[in-house]
Amino acid sequence: MKNLLNLAGLVAALFLTGCVNTVTQNQPGALPTYRDRIETRQQKPLEPVFEASKRALNSFGNITSEGKVFVGTNQVRIVEGKINGRSVYMRVEEIDPQLTAVLVQVRTKLGGTDLQIAKDVVRRIATELE
């Protein structure tokens, strides 16, 4: 009985800690209790910011997928890629016609975060928009 309880506790712990959301919302989970993403806002329309985001990701690594998410009335574009073996998730969302939000999240293979790469990508997006 004691072994069964230990096994149930281990399975529950693995289940609860193994899931976190990505900004592209393609994986289930809950919000982590630590900072794992960077958000910026650009005073530009959606399309130029989306193209700059793709160029920024390509300058550090490569794009694995891109697409659209249909959320209410806002236009949302997503880009996923790899930089140095880390998964990069980017969400480009139109707030209004001249204001666009960009969320960048970088995950390691074991689910950790790499905010330095995320900061570098955000800086590169700003450079591409100039």
pLDDT, tens only, 61-101? 999 998 888 767 778 899 999 999 999 999 999 998 899 99
Q: Give a yes or no: residue 28 inside a domain.
A: no
Q: What is the mean pLDDT of the chain?
A: 81
Domain CATH code at residue 69: 3.30.310.70
pLDDT of residue 8: 67
Write down the residue that tokens 């910011």 correspond to: 49
pLDDT at 17 > cutoff 70: no
Tokens at 40, concatenated: 């910026």
Q: Give a yes or no: residue 81 inside a domain.
A: yes
Torsion angles phi and psi, residue 84, rounded to 5? 50, 45
Write down the residue that tokens 């592209």 correspond to: 24
Rounded to whole angstroms, the maximal C-alpha distance in the chain is 65
pLDDT of residue 28: 44
